């Protein structure tokens, strides 16, 4: 097991840094995701960890040893590519044996390790197939097995689920996560899919424009986003504005207490997740702000509403479909004060 | 499933123009050559009445002709081999190198085809002749005493053929390499293969379809080349194609010339089939 430490890592292709002095410490056996929109530098970072790109500046340490000048083939990494990159002219067995042959592993050990890893990815009996004879999900698992069979120091995955259909993608999320836990390998996972990053990772690194916007557990990222960009990138969010006065922000939902760091009179942005809002019928007489249903979208387990508050502000609300409200209906909205998260003052 | 007649007709109509063209201008003349090769030699006419196996008998009984087929095959093999050795790095560079030089490189690769074959061959005689630029320069610098035998031999023919046929090797290999996903090489590197090993184990075998196509093209073209061998080989070195034309036009022996032409085609085809068998790719299918 290996601890990976990235220190002030920078990559500049000559048109300004693609990765700008980022630092992360990845613990032994940790599953960490690099999450961000395309062009945020997450893939470049992964390529630098793998050794496919040279770092312009900074250090990458595997267990304290700087590997920046170590070529790819000497870094002892396992990598899974977006398009799987299975060797089309080799059978599954030959694909899996490749990395072991490079390590001069004895023949009979190669055989036993391949059998073991095929069992692990539930592909026993497929060793004589060529990649083109496998489905997308099976190819994905072979790619995973090929990266793991060499027992690398770290596992790197570059959007490995992007080419799979939605159902298979969810299955593979669980599969990869379980496998990673069982093997206990330090893993870096690149994705632009926030649901993937949230469900699989111990910690998520959110990147924008070559910089790290936030590092934290999935719940940190979702419930306590560092800024507006992170809040909007990870899931849906309502941005509620209000003036600070006496350590309280007054909003359409009522007064929300905030910590003392915000001066009186400042206009604050608060994040409010759609599922944190409760919808109640007017007749309930409960406390809440009056709102009108603009539209609703039913998706089976959940209903998404668009509501207009009295002041004209629009909020998105997600509820269970136990009680349904019709378009145009007047309702009461309520959100507990602790579900608001301050994102900072309005610039 | 039964295919409605109209649907079956559609593809046939589409290939009809090409099929008719091939049939009238290739298959029929070819059949005519086959028939001609069995005709009696004529006295003052291209061929005489009746049929015989004598033309083939003459070919096999005279070692001169067999030797010429062997020489022609050798020239074909060497030309193909040299084209492969010289062409592969160029093809790789064009497929994977920096895009800045790609257009220029592409133009340079095609440039031999832009010059007429006769002019190009004369160009080589200017360079390779005993009084040619190369020999004069080397003599002038005092590096050699007499002219090197660069022309009127197989060496000269091979040099000129390699020049002409290089594009036919480079282009299929280039397109094969372009079709290889670069992430395969990256995957090999990540698994511990050096750049050289990843080329040997991944890129090279995957470019085999291009190598196969290029080799067959160059080999077949070399066997049937006429202008270049006749201008550069002169009277001393004759390839089969030159001998066939001699028989047909100079000595007016149409039946024997046809038999020679067919023997060349058959031996060439045999080697192409053997080569195809040797380089069969199980993973493609």
Whether A70 has its CB under 8 Å from any CB of chain B: the answer is no
DSSP B31-70: HHHHHHTTEEEPSSSSEEEEE-SHHHHHHHH-HHHHHHHH
- Measured in degrees and rounded to the nearest 5, phi and psi for residue A14 equal 110, -10
Give the closest of A83, A98, A150 to B181, CB-based.
A83
In angstroms, what is the C-alpha Rg of chain A? 24
B205 chain-A contacts, CB cut-off 8 A: 89
Stated pTM of the model: 0.83
Among A233, A252, A276, where does a domain finish?
A233
Instruction: Quote the CA–CA distance of A112 and A95 in Å, as a whole number.
Output: 15
Whether A151 has its CB under 8 Å from any CB of chain B: the answer is no
Q: Is residue A252 a contact partner of residue A340, using CB atoms and an 8 Å limit?
A: no
Whether A103 has its CB under 8 Å from any CB of chain B: the answer is yes
Give the closest of A51, A89, A150 to B206, CB-based.
A89
CATH H-level, domain B69-239: superfamily:
MetI-like (1.10.3720.10)
Strands A65-66, A77-80: pairing kind: unpaired
A206-217 residue pLDDT tens: 999 999 999 999
Give the closest of A78, A83, A103 to B183, CB-based.
A83
Among A216, A233, A250, where does a domain finish?
A233
Per the structure, the complete domain to which residue A288 belongs is given by 238-345
Among A214, A233, A252, where does a domain finish?
A233
Whether A310 has its CB under 8 Å from any CB of chain B: the answer is no
Domain containing residue A209: CATH number: 3.40.50.300
B197 chain-A contacts, CB cut-off 8 A: 102
Instruction: Quote the CA–CA distance of A158 and A156 in Å, as a whole number.
Output: 7
A98 and A32 in a common domain: yes
A165 and A178 in a common domain: yes
Whether A52 has its CB under 8 Å from any CB of chain B: the answer is yes
A198 and A334 in a common domain: no
A192 and A269 in a common domain: no
Q: How many CA atoms lie within 13 A of A83 on its CB side?
A: 12
B186 chain-A contacts, CB cut-off 8 A: 52, 72, 79, 81, 85
Question: Which residue carries 């029929």 as its tokens?
Answer: B28
A105 and A20 in a common domain: yes
Q: Cβ contacts of residue B57 below 8 Å, gap of 6+?
A: none
Whether A102 has its CB under 8 Å from any CB of chain B: the answer is yes
A48 and A23 in a common domain: yes
| Closest to B204 measured CA to CA, from B216, B218, B188, B192 | B188
Instruction: Quote the CA–CA distance of A155 and A153 in Å, as a whole number.
Output: 7
Instruction: Quote the CA–CA distance of B86 and B90 in Å, as a whole number.
Output: 7
pLDDT in tens, chain B (285 residues): 555 656 678 888 889 999 999 999 999 999 999 999 999 888 777 888 888 888 899 888 988 888 889 999 999 999 999 999 999 999 999 998 877 788 888 888 888 888 888 888 888 888 888 888 888 888 888 888 878 888 888 888 999 999 989 999 999 999 999 999 999 999 999 999 999 999 999 999 999 999 999 999 999 999 999 988 888 887 778 888 888 988 888 888 889 999 999 999 999 999 999 998 888 877 776
Instruction: Quote the CA–CA distance of B4 and B19 in Å, as a whole number.
Output: 23
A275 and A127 in a common domain: no
Q: How many beta carbons lie within 10 A of that of residue B192, not counting itself?
A: 23
A289 and A141 in a common domain: no
Cβ pairs A/B, distance under 8 A: 65
A104 and A200 in a common domain: yes
Question: Which residue carries 């209906």 as its tokens?
Answer: A329
DSSP A295-321: EEEE-SS-EEEEEEETTS-EEEEEE-T
ipTM at complex level? 0.84
| Closest to B248 measured CA to CA, from B231, B264, B237 | B264
Whether A149 has its CB under 8 Å from any CB of chain B: the answer is no
Instruction: Quote the CA–CA distance of B160 and B235 in Å, as a whole number.
Output: 17
DSSP B126-172: HHHSTTSHHHHHHHHTTS-SS----SSSHHHHHHHHHHHHHHHHHHH
Q: Is residue A55 a contact partner of residue A12, using CB atoms and an 8 Å limit?
A: no
A147 and A100 in a common domain: yes
A264 and A229 in a common domain: no
How many domains are there within chain A?
Answer: 2
A223 and A296 in a common domain: no
């Amino acid at each position: 097991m290996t601890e990976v430490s990235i220190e002030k890592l920078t990559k500049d292709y000559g048109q300004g840094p693609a990765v700008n002095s980022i630092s992360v410490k990845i613990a032994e056996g940790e599953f960490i995701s690099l999450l961000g929109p395309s062009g945020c530098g997450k893939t470049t970072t992964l390529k630098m960890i793998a050794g496919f790109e040279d770092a312009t500046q900074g250090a990458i340490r595997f267990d304290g040893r700087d590997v920046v000048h170590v070529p790819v083939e000497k870094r002892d990494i396992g990598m899974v590519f977006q398009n799987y990159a299975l060797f089309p002219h080799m059978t599954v067995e030959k694909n899996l044996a490749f990395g072991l042959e490079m390590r001069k592993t004895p023949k009979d050990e190669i055989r036993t390790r391949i059998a073991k890893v095929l069992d692990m990815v539930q592909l026993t009996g497929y060793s004589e197939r060529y990649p083109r004879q496998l489905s997308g999900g099976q190819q994905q698992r072979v790619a995973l097995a090929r990266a793991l069979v060499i027992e690398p120091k770290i596992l790197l995955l570059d959007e490995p689920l992007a080419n799979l259909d939605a159902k298979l993608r969810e299955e593979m999320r669980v599969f990869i996560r379980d496998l990673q836990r069982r093997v206990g390998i330090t893993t870096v996972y690149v994705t632009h899919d926030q649901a993937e990053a949230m469900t699989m990772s111990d910690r998520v690194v959110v990147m924008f424009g070559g910089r790290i916007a936030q590092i934290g557990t999935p719940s940190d990222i979702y419930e306590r986003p560092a800024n507006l960009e992170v809040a909007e990138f990870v899931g849906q969010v309502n941005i509620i504005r209000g003036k600070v006065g006496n350590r309280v922000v007054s909003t359409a939902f009522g007064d929300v207490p905030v910590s003392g760091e915000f001066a009186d009179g400042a206009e604050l942005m608060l994040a409010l997740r759609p599922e944190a809002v409760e919808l109640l019928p007017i007749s309930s007489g409960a406390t809440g702000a009056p709102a009108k249903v603009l539209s609703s979208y039913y998706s089976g387990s959940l209903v998404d509403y668009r509501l207009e508050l009295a002041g004209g502000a629009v909020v998105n609300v997600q509820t269970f479909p136990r009680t349904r409200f019709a378009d145009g209906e007047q309702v009461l909205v309520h959100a507990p004060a602790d579900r608001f998260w301050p994102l900072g003052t309005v610039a | 499933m039964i295919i409605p007649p109209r649907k079956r007709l559609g593809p046939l109509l589409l290939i009809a123009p090409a099929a008719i063209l091939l049939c009238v201008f290739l298959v029929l003349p070819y059949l005519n050559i086959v028939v001609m090769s069995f005709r009696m030699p004529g006295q003052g006419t291209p061929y005489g009445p009746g049929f015989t196996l004598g033309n083939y008998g003459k070919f096999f009984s005279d070692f001169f002709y067999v030797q010429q087929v062997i020489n022609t095959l050798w020239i074909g093999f060497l030309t193909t081999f040299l084209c492969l050795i010289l062409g592969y790095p160029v093809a790789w560079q064009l497929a994977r190198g920096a895009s800045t030089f790609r257009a220029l490189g592409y133009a340079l690769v095609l440039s031999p085809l832009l010059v007429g074959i006769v002019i190009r061959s004369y160009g080589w005689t200017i360079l390779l002749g005993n009084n040619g630029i190369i020999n004069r320069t080397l003599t002038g610098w005092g590096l050699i005493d007499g002219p090197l035998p660069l022309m009127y031999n197989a060496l000269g023919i091979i040099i000129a053929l390699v020049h002409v046929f290089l594009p036919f090797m480079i282009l299929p290999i280039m397109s094969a390499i372009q079709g290889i996903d670069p992430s395969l090489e990256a995957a090999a590197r990540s698994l511990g293969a050096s750049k050289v090993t990843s080329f040997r184990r991944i890129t090279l075998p995957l470019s085999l379809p291009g190598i196969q196509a290029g080799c067959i093209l160059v080999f077949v073209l070399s066997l049937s080349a006429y202008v270049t061998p006749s201008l550069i080989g002169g009277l001393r070195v004759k390839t089969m194609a030159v001998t066939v034309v001699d028989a047909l036009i100079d000595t007016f022996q149409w039946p024997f010339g046809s038999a020679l032409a067919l023997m060349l085609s058959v031996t060439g085809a045999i080697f192409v089939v053997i080569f195809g068998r040797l380089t069969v790719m199980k993973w493609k299918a």
